[in-house]
Amino acid sequence: MSITVKRVYKKPAPADGTRILVDRLWPCGLSKSSAAIDHWLRDLAPSDELRTWFHSNPGAWVAFRKRYFKELAREAAASNLEQLHQLAEKRNVTLVFASRNETHNNAIVLKEFLEGMRKPPTGTGPAAAKGTGPRQAARRPR
């Protein structure tokens, strides 16, 4: 499964494959023909409440990701996620978004979700405990 993300205002390219708009609102000032959108899965976009909250709290990226992961895990998103998986199995998929912020937007989170990263890394838990810290060195047999 090859998934990329791209701003909708950038020129479409053949390498984009299937272009899927993942915003709830249509991008301002862009016609449907110039956007070259193959599918519009607006139900995979963050809820209006979450989108509005994130725009007023742009520094809350981690909290936005967590909340958006929860929304994507809901049953309401299941059919659209299934459709997206089916499209991605057939050919390259580009998740298209309108946000000016190309590193912190819903398409990035959706891509991570689709690639199996169900929750953001926290730096704690069993995976972090397996490091080569002093505790592990103290447990080695003598």
pLDDT of residue 102: 93
Asked if residue 142 belongs to a domain, the reply is no
pLDDT of residue 139: 55
pLDDT of residue 121: 46
pLDDT of residue 46: 95
Asked if residue 126 belongs to a domain, the reply is no
* Angle at which helices 61-72 and 106-114 cross, to 10°: 50
Asked if residue 46 belongs to a domain, the reply is yes
> Which tokens sit at 117?
């990263």
Domain count, the chain: 1
Domain range spanning residue 87? 3-117
Asked if residue 134 belongs to a domain, the reply is no
Asked if residue 36 belongs to a domain, the reply is yes
Rounded Cα–Cα distance for residues 67 and 86 (Å) = 25
Asked if residue 74 belongs to a domain, the reply is yes
Asked if residue 81 belongs to a domain, the reply is yes
Asked if residue 32 belongs to a domain, the reply is yes
pTM above 0.75, yes or no: yes
pLDDT of residue 140: 55
Q: Divide the 142 residues of the chain into consecutive groups of 10 and give the mean pLDDT of each group.
A: 91 93 93 91 93 92 94 88 87 94 94 69 49 51 56
H or E stretch covering 11: none
pLDDT of residue 75: 85
